[in-house]
Amino acid sequence: MRILLTGASGSIGAALAPDLAAAGHELRGFGRDPSRVPATLPFVRGDAITGAGFDEALDGIDVAYFLMHSMEGAGSRDGFEDNERIAAENFVTAAQAARVRRVVYLGGLVPPERRPSRHLGSRLEVERILLAGLPEAVALRASIVIGARSRSFRFLVHLVERMKVLTLPPWREHRTQPIDVRDVRAFLLAAATTPHARGGLSLDIAGPDVLSYGQMIERIADLMLVRRRSLSFGRNATPIVAPVAAALTGEESGFIGPLMESLSSDLLPRDERAPRLLGVRPHRFDQAVERALREWETREPLAAR
């Protein structure tokens, strides 16, 4: 099949490209900066916000992966929510014109009984646009992805590295099911050809372990072979804490602020259909972290180890 990979320079897209090529698919990339992808990947330069390049990129494509996110644009004129909505609408318009039937999207788990954060609400809106606009759209929702290049995982590792005392706000008690990046790639790969997507399909993908964010950080510290004392405080002060956490971990506040807002409730899957429908057996949390840390250390040192 001829496959368009948007977000090819991101952590998921870059990891997925070799899997798609190994499966025999013909790949094409799309994005603003061709220098950030391998020279061997045919690439169309464009801009999702303006829609420039979509017509050329989608020409002759059988399946398109929508792996673009704009959370870092929170400080822009319209904010990341508007940017993500506009990008999705531009994509659907171009995909319909090119007669592309299937798109595969990776979004985020959402809380079942309360209003989602700005970040997760934006991901949900993109999912709605794609499912409404394309007949075989597949939307996968994941929580924290465990991988050496995953920004959310790297944020947690940097907290362990750089905080001698782990001072955690109330979101430390909320639970989720983190997922190994290998399993995300396997779910995405299977979604391109699954027969269950006629009429659209939305699935939650998750690892087998239910953990609070505090437990995740403690397990990461244990697997990094370091001891960290934890100190909890009861006030939810994300607007104050997020810039400090961003500076401490070397991240952008436009990413960390919305990310921390999303931790204010449990984020658990709606059901367990995904492994059966897509034929994936997820890895346990400790296995995922150990592998991610080993890969991390092949590229850069871990200060805490």
Are 182 and 293 contacting, i.e. CB atoms less than 8 angstroms apart? Answer: no
Are 11 and 147 contacting, i.e. CB atoms less than 8 angstroms apart? Answer: yes
In a domain, 289, yes or no: no
234 CB-contact burial (10 Å; exposed 0-12 / middle 13-18 / buried 19+):
exposed
Are 157 and 224 contacting, i.e. CB atoms less than 8 angstroms apart? Answer: yes
Residue 256: its H or E element: helix 253-261
pLDDT bracket for residue 75 (50, 70, 90): very low
Q: What pLDDT score does 76 carry?
A: 44
In the predicted structure, residue 188 carries a pLDDT above the cut 70? yes
In a domain, 151, yes or no: no
Q: What pLDDT score does 238 carry?
A: 63
pTM of the predicted protein model? 0.91
Q: What pLDDT score does 205 carry?
A: 98
Mean pLDDT of 155-164: 88
Provide the 3-class DSSP secondary structure of residue 4.
strand
- Count of structural domains, the chain: 1
Q: What pLDDT score does 97 carry?
A: 98
Q: What is the CATH number of the domain that holds 109?
A: 3.40.50.720
Amino acid at 78: D
In a domain, 124, yes or no: yes
In a domain, 90, yes or no: yes
Are 207 and 183 contacting, i.e. CB atoms less than 8 angstroms apart? Answer: yes
Distance in angstroms (rounded) separating the CA atoms of residues 75 and 90: 22
Provide the 3-class DSSP secondary structure of residue 108.
strand
The parent domain of residue 59 ranges over 2-143+180-205+268-281
In a domain, 138, yes or no: yes
In the predicted structure, residue 78 carries a pLDDT above the cut 70? no
In a domain, 272, yes or no: yes
Residue 258: its H or E element: helix 253-261
Taking only the tens place, the pLDDT of each residue in 258-292 is: 777 777 789 999 999 999 999 999 999 999 999 99
In a domain, 83, yes or no: yes
Taking only the tens place, the pLDDT of each residue in 25-71 is: 999 999 988 888 888 899 999 999 999 999 999 999 999 999 998 65
In a domain, 21, yes or no: yes
Distance in angstroms (rounded) separating the CA atoms of residues 229 and 226: 10
Q: How many Å from the N-terminal Cα to the C-terminal Cα in the chain?
A: 44
